[in-house]
Structure 1
Amino acid sequence: MLALIVSVLATAAAPQPTIVQKPIPFPRARKTQMAAYSKRHYGIDSYRLREPKVIVEHYTVTETFQQTYNTFAPNNPDPELKELPGTCAHYVIDRDGTIYQLVPRSIMCRHTVGLNYTSFGIEHVGMSDGDVMGNKRQLAASLRLTRWLRCRYGIATKDVIGHSESLSSPFHTERVERLKQQTHGDMTRATMKKYRAQLGAC
């Protein structure tokens, strides 16, 4: 009962932003591949995202939302790691501040090696950290979405991270030896320090 009250209060303090549903195909075959990936990398035989503890911020290295959608929708092996299922993110925030949801929050997405089993992925249409932080509408939408997710799921502010911070997360887990140090450079620690400072409390 207490947990329910806390959840209601948190939701009231951080209301859900407007989210446009734009689902990518995630049929049974892709779910089966996600479960197999999860088993290989985390020892978890499931595609379900349960009790998420981390939110990972990214930028897309694309100019438009549609280009990003077209990257995630086909279930093709990713060009970097050559694995299935294809990469994806739960949310994409466009340059105009529109928030799109591509994948249900109950399903794992391949967006961050070592953290997919316990994290939401949020992509921002843009080419750099500066693109995201310098776009007032996009940044405001990002903070609203992240605050709502953080408060709804009880995720600590320190566990809202940039992709570049993935290896330092206490939740980072990777069973495949060649990927234990794999990460990307988007949303650096310096950028995320500024971002986290703007998140506010629940």
Structure 2
Amino acid sequence: MLALITSVLAAAVPQPTIVQKPIPFPRARKEQMAAYARRHYGIDSYRLRDPKVIVQHYTVTSTFQQTYNTFAPNRPDPELKELPGTCAHYVIDRDGTIYQLVPRSIMCRHTVGLNYTSFGIEHVGMSDGDVMGNQRQLAASLRLTRWLRCRYGIETKNVIGHNENRSSPFHKENVERLRTQTHGDFTRATMQRYRARMLDC
């Protein structure tokens, strides 16, 4: 019954225009994602099943292409030195264009502790203020987030900023040294303003 209600609600929320710009995600990268999921979450799969969280980020780049060029090569990330390389499901450009880089059915490495159950949305910009002050980008972000939230039955409170990852009830990390790891993008104060602007399904 809940699945039917979710399906009806999702159908009422239009999908925003999304430009497909896939990064390479061949078998080797999927196998590395599965190995990462085993180490960090005890899950023997690269598949993203039953997502419960949407995580907002900013790129610390000035163009979409720079962001794409960061995620496309499958290289160990400079911070944690692990494979597969980092990525996000979506990137929203400064003009409001929404790009999809990775299928929603595949885990992406974008947030320690939540990759197993979350979609990652990156925003081209250098700070929370850059994104929140850009009306076209913010409007596109809210449209995409609402569509994903309604399609998958994700609660508003589980739309979070990267900086809020440790306080999520879904945060899970088997590697002890990473249990307190976070980033500064999209703080709780920013996300309170963001969540206040989200529409219901």
Pairwise CA distance, 1:4: 5.1
- The equivalent of 1:168 in structure 2 is 167
Segments of 4+ moved more than 4 angstroms: none
Long gaps (5+) in structure 2: none
Mapped partners of 1:171, 1:8: distance in 2: 23
Pairwise CA distance, 1:15: 1.0
Q: What is the TM-score normalised by the length of structure 1?
A: 0.98
Matched position secondary structure for 1:194: helix
Matches within 5 A, 1:65-76: 65-76=64-75
Pairwise CA distance, 1:92: 0.1
Matched position secondary structure for 2:54: strand
Pairwise CA distance, 1:10: 1.4
- The equivalent of 1:192 in structure 2 is 191
The 3 A distance-change label for structure 1 pair 23 and 197 is same
Pairwise CA distance, 1:11: 2.0
Q: What is the TM-score normalised by the length of structure 2?
A: 0.98
Long gaps (5+) in structure 1: none
Matches within 5 A, 1:2-151: 2-3=1-2, 5-151=4-150
Name the Cα RMSD after superposition. Answer: 0.8
Matched position secondary structure for 1:192: helix
Sequence identity of aligned pairs in percent? 83
Matched position secondary structure for 2:140: helix
Matched position secondary structure for 1:95: coil
Mapped partners of 2:76, 2:22: distance in 1: 19
Q: In terms of mean alpha carbon deviation, does 124-133 or 7-16 score higher?
A: 7-16
Count, aligned residues: 201
Matched position secondary structure for 2:165: helix
